Amino acid sequence: MKKLFGTDGVRGVANVYPMTTEMAMQIGRAAAYLFKNGNRRHRIVIGKDTRLSGYMLENALVAGICSMGVDVLVVGPLPTPGIANITSSMRADAGVVISASHNAFQDNGIKFFSRDGFKLPDNMELKIEDLIFSQKIDSLRPIATEVGKAYRIDDAVGRYVVFLKNTFPKELDLSGMKIVLDCANGAAYKVAPAVLEELGAEVIPYGNKPNGTNINAGCGSLHPEVISEAVKEHRADLGIALDGDADRVIFVDEFGNEVDGDHIMAICATDMIRQKKLRKNTLVATVMSNMGLDIAVKKAGGKVIKTAVGDRYVVEEMIKGGYNLGGEQSGHMIFLDHNTTGDGMLSALQVLAIMRRSGKTLSELAEVMIPLPQVLVNVRVAEKKDIMTIPEVAALIHGVEEKLKDEGRILIRYSGTEPLLRIMLEGQDKYQITGWAKDIAELVEKKIGGK
């Protein structure tokens, strides 16, 4: 069982264990040791979002990596998918992202990409933990010319902007389009406006003035109401909202209505099926995706495969099965023909290309999927106990499943980063499933609830 890594790297309150400078340095040392291969000079890319704590963690990681005789390429604030891309394009041995994604500014995290730009599998994260807690490498101290160096890559933003523009069809542009763009005061505050403007769009920016403490604060993909109001106020064609590290995206249409990850996957999958570009006519989603997505893709001649929650599990299934499109309802979309991880701006460009080619508005495209009513309730717990071992809870869940039959579903899982139990129900009657979800939540809170 992992001690540090969760579903998406190491994460927590900055300057509180495990997100301390001491642990960051140990993580850097262990990663440097793990990724060294042969007698040549080795290089690891480090990027971050705009959190205040990024400075101290960045310096600790640099110190740890250099102390093991590995060089560091520091790129500064850059979207998570941009760091994956830079790692791969510069032939570095690994990439490190300092970010807590959509979390508040006081949190931070550390996650890794391998040299090919993919997130590390569980066994590699376990090896890093073993090197730290076993103290196997404490005595390894390169000296003299064997100590690593740190270099700043000044053109990282420009490299990533060019990469993103090259994923957009060369015969198309965005001239005449008015787009509201919310960068969440995060890592994409420079990249995202530049890409859209260079493709010809009129951009109305929000959340593009980070100060170290305002990342995700009342803005970005967690608060689509911001761009919803802005789209209506400016009479824009659509709104695009990124999260703090820009690996996910949420849209609003020209009327200000939210268009989530499931709708975007439905739009992109059905378009790729029509163009015969969706490999094996298969989309990879997670168990959280709405059943309406399955229905839409099936109607277009494709199918949906479901994985556990987490974009890394989506990517693993895509690689294993040879698929090229996957994603999550939360707005992570992976286009493996272009990048190795979820990429908010890349996803936005694919949707904009479909709008341009088809001549349809986003609201018209979103009609491809009709979602089933869905309710999600979170319960804070004192312990992550298997709830099916609690007789009263198990009986209530089985009873709800019997009533739902084939016209809905229930999904219960623990958060990978917080002491929360997530209870999700889908069905034809929203009032009915809301009542059932509340009944289960109240019983769980009574049995294992935490403050």
Does the pLDDT value for residue 341 go beyond 90? yes
409-434 average pLDDT score: 90
Choose from 2-16, 137-151, 208-222, 398-412 the range with maximum mean pLDDT.
Answer: 208-222
pLDDT for 274-308, tens place per residue? 999 999 999 999 998 999 999 999 999 999 999 99
Across the chain, which distance is largest between two alpha carbons, in Å?
71
* Residues 133 and 82 sit within 8 Å (Cβ to Cβ): no
Does the pLDDT value for residue 265 go beyond 90? yes
What global pTM score does this model have? 0.89
- Which of 34-48, 175-189, 246-260 shows the lowest mean pLDDT across its residues? 34-48
Centre a 10 Å sphere on the Cβ of residue 174 and count the other Cβ atoms it contains: 23
**Given this model, what pLDDT does residue 6 score?**
86
* CA gap 400, 409 in Å, rounded: 9
Does residue 101 have a known ligand-binding role? yes
pLDDT for 141-186, tens place per residue? 989 989 999 999 999 999 999 999 999 999 999 999 999 999 999 9
* CA gap 138, 194 in Å, rounded: 45
**Given this model, what pLDDT does residue 2 score?**
85
- Confidence grade of residue 214 (pLDDT, cut at 50, 70, 90): very high
Tell me the average pLDDT of the chain.
Answer: 95
Does the pLDDT value for residue 39 go beyond 90? no
Does the pLDDT value for residue 231 go beyond 90? yes
342-355 average pLDDT score: 98
Does the pLDDT value for residue 227 go beyond 90? yes
Comparing CA positions, the residue from 85, 90, 54 lying closest to residue 73 is 90
Does the pLDDT value for residue 94 go beyond 80? yes
Grouping H, G, I as helix, E, B as strand and the rest as coil, residue 338 is coil
Does residue 245 have a known ligand-binding role? yes
226-234 average pLDDT score: 98
Does the pLDDT value for residue 370 go beyond 80? yes
Strands 10-13 and 374-380: unpaired
Does the pLDDT value for residue 52 go beyond 90? yes
Does the pLDDT value for residue 451 go beyond 80? no
Placement of tokens 């064997």 in the chain: 146
**Given this model, what pLDDT does residue 121 score?**
87
315-342 average pLDDT score: 96
236-246 average pLDDT score: 98
**Given this model, what pLDDT does residue 407 score?**
82
pLDDT > 70 fraction of the chain, expressed in percent and rounded:
100
pLDDT > 90 fraction of the chain, expressed in percent and rounded:
89
- Confidence grade of residue 418 (pLDDT, cut at 50, 70, 90): confident
Rounded to 5 degrees, what angle do the CA atoms 79, 82, 83 make? 95
Does residue 330 have a known ligand-binding role? no
Does the pLDDT value for residue 406 go beyond 80? no
Does the pLDDT value for residue 209 go beyond 90? yes
**Given this model, what pLDDT does residue 7 score?**
79
Per this entry, what is the length of the chain?
451
Which residues carry out catalysis? Answer: 101
* Residues 25 and 65 sit within 8 Å (Cβ to Cβ): no
**Given this model, what pLDDT does residue 122 score?**
87
93-122 average pLDDT score: 95
Cα separations in angstroms, 138 against 30, 211, 246: 9, 37, 36
**Given this model, what pLDDT does residue 300 score?**
97
267-280 average pLDDT score: 98
* Residues 254 and 237 sit within 8 Å (Cβ to Cβ): yes
Cα separations in angstroms, 22 against 18, 19, 95, 416: 9, 8, 20, 24
Centre a 10 Å sphere on the Cβ of residue 337 and count the other Cβ atoms it contains: 12
Q: Which residues of 347-364 are buried (b: 16+ CB within 10 A; e: fewer)?
A: bbbbbbbbbbeeeeebee
Does the pLDDT value for residue 38 go beyond 90? no
89-107 average pLDDT score: 96
* Residues 194 and 164 sit within 8 Å (Cβ to Cβ): no
